Amino acid sequence: MSRELPEMLAPGEFPQLEARFLLKDTQKRPLWPARFRELLAREGERRGLPGELFRSKDGRTTPPVHVIGARGWVGLVGTGSDGIGLVESVLPGVLKILQEARGTPVAVQLMEHEKSILPSNRVHTYWIREMVFRKRSVRHPPREEDLPRLIKESVLSGLYRSAGWLWRPDRPDEARVHPDADAFMDVPNLELDVLDILRPRGLQIVTSDGGPCGEYATLCDVQIGLNANLQGVWQVGALTARGYGRIVRQIPRLSLHQEKGVIE
């Protein structure tokens, strides 16, 4: 029997709920998304946070709630009815964890989005913040000349998958709405150019609560040109549930997190 299709507004569109936690004193005590998720994992059991916040029900797919954040705030974003319900249910517990950890009041801002991807006749420019790709068991990064191709493949695959489409490279003009759907549907022919790659570097992957696991990946900030208009919160690459790979508009003086320092 086929599983129930995800709740959709239209093919490629999903409702989202974003909860932003506005932090004080972030200049001296920044809290980035990955560290925020580690904090929730450590304190979650004590606060009764459900396991679905950190892993999917089947243990294989991406959880319906991701952490996100930037300078001055961290957040949770839930996609579809399961993700939205989960964000709503954990808000009180997450707020208490943050307030205890920071020692100051934390304000909450709720925003509703319609996550969608709409084909466009013009190229839109985006930044992908701290995109993680190509997990591996060794420290050595891929060759520099291979980066644009690997990034392009990862971004396109992530966009199609996040839109709920099962994309096949050998049939780029057709995709299923969902792996269990009975019929194919037309999907946009996405065209993507990698415009800039900033500071490709190695990343040691850790467990949900911050412990090492012996795996490595490549991490970089990427500027892309895409013939589509993205609405809502989009993330691509690996470790998206931990806040990596968020796609944002081209914004002057965009702050990009680094392990040592910040690029303005």
Q: Which of helix, strand or coil describes residue 89? A: helix
The predicted structure's pLDDT at residue 4: 37
pLDDT digits (tens, 9 = 90+) for 116-163: 888 888 999 999 988 988 665 555 667 777 888 889 988 988 887 777
Q: CATH number of the domain at 116-263, out of 2.40.160, 2.60.40, 3.30.70, 3.40.50?
A: 3.30.70
Given this model, what pLDDT does residue 255 score?
Answer: 42
257: pLDDT strictly greater than 90:
no
Instruction: Choose between 185 and 122: higher pLDDT.
Output: 122
At residue 187, the pLDDT reads: 55
What is the arrangement of strands in the sheet containing 184-186, beginning at the earlier edge strand? 166-168, 171-176, 184-186
Q: Is the pLDDT of residue 106 over 70?
A: yes
> Which residues make Cβ contacts (< 8 Å) with residue 143, sequence separation at least 6?
none
Residues of the chain with CATH 3.30.70: 14-114, 116-263
CA torsion sign for 228, 247, 130, 17 is negative
Evaluate whether 31 touches 24 at the Cβ level (below 8 Å). Answer: no
pLDDT of residue 157: 83
Section 35-59 average pLDDT:
82
Return the CATH architecture of domain 14-114. Answer: 2-Layer Sandwich (3.30)
Q: Where are the alpha helices (DSSP H) in the chain?
A: 33-47, 80-102, 147-162
Mean pLDDT for the stretch of residues 96-101? 93
